[in-house]
A and B are shown apart, each in its own frame.
Chain A
């Protein structure tokens, strides 16, 4: 935290300064610029979206195209089914035509940034935000370093957006969140595997202590003979090495002949929603605001939806010239109504999931199979799925008493 910097050569004035030009930052920059606000997005990497830190499974074509026109250059597959394997390798499968697009995240992020530029936003890559500028208890801008020439400069902004991902510094500078506790984060790692027969339109999930304690392993196909194969583990439950050690064993077991390509890694938030994602002159969006699903780790659609809700509130706030915490809290409420209430439930389910041992999960998958078999295609709501799963585990109430009460 610093005061406006006297050493800066230039001080600019903008309406909105966005820190991080990923999914949420890119979409929000575009929407606000389209409304006529002077918007600048700062991205510390030289190239948007690179390196990729993502499993790259998004929502359906229809859901994604609500935010950005779908371009086949960054869509690599469209999935129709999901299969979940129990520790004993029995599985339950669900057909859901077109439920998921597999993306090239770098291309996707670049498309959002290009859309933002088309609508008049300025995107500055290789410019890293180093700190916030404060005016009493109000955030009033950012201090930026141009990595290309080492020059530091100040940008005064009416509102600063933290869209800087799981390791968010904006949230911490603004005292909206702290570091993640190890129990609230998953340690995830992924390889791009090639030259193996993968199902081209079905994603697969493996659960169980052997493969991914406290998390799951995934096989997300990316076209013919290519897939993202990864896993996330709970760092305090992974006793046999790092996430990468678990993944190496998984790949050796299931895809011993695959050609192992690029390695992708990252921390994934598994926490409840933040109490508030706003302060005076500052607002968080995407994983910086803990908007991803704490059970699945998925965050692409959540970031897009979070940015959409943020846009509506920011547009009104900028028009009324009221960027106070009190006004911006409308965004907290809007997010809670749209997704936050679900995320709270998923955070509890995540805790319940930790209490299950492999035998329990085997029973759950068997019970779900009975449910699917009895009425194929009928499972439509989470409630029924979880009710069935819950009944399948003997002594579940005792095991989960500390989570539920």
Chain B
């Protein structure tokens, strides 16, 4: 799949801070690759689908998502 291909070039750098995440799924609503999804109660990340677009980082109401080495991948 296209998304998987791009992740080979740019491995997933998205991280979830579970100490502040309240599983609201705002991030899942903006995730265009369906990499973020709510399990029954917690947020799950399918790393091979993530393309580090950082839209989820933008909308997270609690600031629980971040990209490692963010400076290299400024949000569009």
Chain A residues at the B interface, C-beta cutoff of 8 Å: 44-46, 51, 53, 126, 128, 147, 165-169, 172, 178-182, 185, 187-189, 235-236, 241-245, 263-267, 269
Tell me the bound Cα distance from A269 to B58 in angstroms. Answer: 15
| Min CB gap A80→B, angstroms | 30
Query: Taking chain A's interface residues, is the majority helix, strand, or loop, or is none over half, making it mixed?
Result: loop
Q: Are A46 and B41 in contact (CB under 8 A)?
A: yes
Q: Are A169 and B34 in contact (CB under 8 A)?
A: yes
Please indicate the chain A residues that have their CB under 8 angstroms from the CB of B31 in the complex: 179
Please indicate the chain B residues that have their CB under 8 angstroms from the CB of A188 in the complex: 26, 61
Chain B residues at the A interface, C-beta cutoff of 8 Å: 22-32, 34, 37-41, 55, 58-63
Please indicate the chain B residues that have their CB under 8 angstroms from the CB of A244 in the complex: 61-63
Given A126-B40, A244-B63, A265 and B24 touching (CB < 8 A)?
yes
Tell me the bound Cα distance from A265 to B61 in angstroms. Answer: 6
Q: Are A181 and B62 in contact (CB under 8 A)?
A: no
Please indicate the chain B residues that have their CB under 8 angstroms from the CB of A169 in the complex: 34, 37
Q: Are B58 and A235 in contact (CB under 8 A)?
A: yes
Closest residue on chain A to residue B30 by CB atoms = A180
Please indicate the chain A residues that have their CB under 8 angstroms from the CB of B60 in the complex: 187, 242
Closest residue on chain A to residue B37 by CB atoms = A169
Closest residue on chain A to residue B26 by CB atoms = A267
One of B29, B41, B63 near A267 (C-beta < 8 A): B29
Q: Are B22 and A165 in contact (CB under 8 A)?
A: no
Q: Are A187 and B61 in contact (CB under 8 A)?
A: yes
One of B22, B27, B58 near A263 (C-beta < 8 A): B22
Q: Are A265 and B62 in contact (CB under 8 A)?
A: yes
Given A167-B38, A187-B61, A178 and B32 touching (CB < 8 A)?
yes
Q: Are B62 and A180 in contact (CB under 8 A)?
A: no
Closest residue on chain A to residue B62 by CB atoms = A244
Tell me the bound Cα distance from A180 to B59 in angstroms. Answer: 10
Tell me the bound Cα distance from A378 to B23 in angstroms. Answer: 43
Please indicate the chain B residues that have their CB under 8 angstroms from the CB of A168 in the complex: 29
Please indicate the chain B residues that have their CB under 8 angstroms from the CB of A241 in the complex: 63
| Min CB gap A350→B, angstroms | 16
| Min CB gap B42→A, angstroms | 11
| Min CB gap B14→A, angstroms | 15
Sampled A-B contacts (17; CB under 8 Å): A44-B40, A51-B23, A51-B41, A53-B24, A53-B25, A179-B30, A179-B32, A182-B59, A185-B30, A187-B26, A187-B59, A244-B61, A263-B62, A265-B62, A266-B24, A266-B25, A269-B29
Tell me the bound Cα distance from A308 to B26 in angstroms. Answer: 26
Q: Are A185 and B22 in contact (CB under 8 A)?
A: no
Please indicate the chain B residues that have their CB under 8 angstroms from the CB of A235 in the complex: 58-59
Q: Are B25 and A236 in contact (CB under 8 A)?
A: no
Closest residue on chain A to residue B27 by CB atoms = A267
Closest residue on chain B to residue A50 by CB atoms = B41
Q: Are A179 and B26 in contact (CB under 8 A)?
A: no
Tell me the bound Cα distance from A241 to B47 in angstroms. Answer: 26
Please indicate the chain A residues that have their CB under 8 angstroms from the CB of B32 in the complex: 178-179
Tell me the bound Cα distance from A157 to B61 in angstroms. Answer: 37
Q: Are A45 and B41 in contact (CB under 8 A)?
A: yes
Q: Are A166 and B25 in contact (CB under 8 A)?
A: yes
Closest residue on chain A to residue B58 by CB atoms = A235
Tell me the bound Cα distance from A126 to B28 in angstroms. Answer: 19
Q: Are A165 and B25 in contact (CB under 8 A)?
A: yes
Q: Are A46 and B30 in contact (CB under 8 A)?
A: no
Please indicate the chain B residues that have their CB under 8 angstroms from the CB of A185 in the complex: 26, 29-30, 59
Most chain A CB within 10 A, of B25, B37, B61, is at: B61
Closest residue on chain B to residue A266 by CB atoms = B24
Please indicate the chain A residues that have their CB under 8 angstroms from the CB of B24 in the complex: 53, 264-267
Tell me the bound Cα distance from A243 to B27 in angstroms. Answer: 13
Taking A187-B59, A267-B24 as known contacts, 11 extra A-B pairs with beta carbons closer than 8 A to each other, sorted by chain A number, are A45-B40, A45-B41, A166-B26, A168-B29, A179-B31, A179-B32, A181-B30, A185-B30, A242-B62, A265-B24, A266-B24
Closest residue on chain B to residue A190 by CB atoms = B61
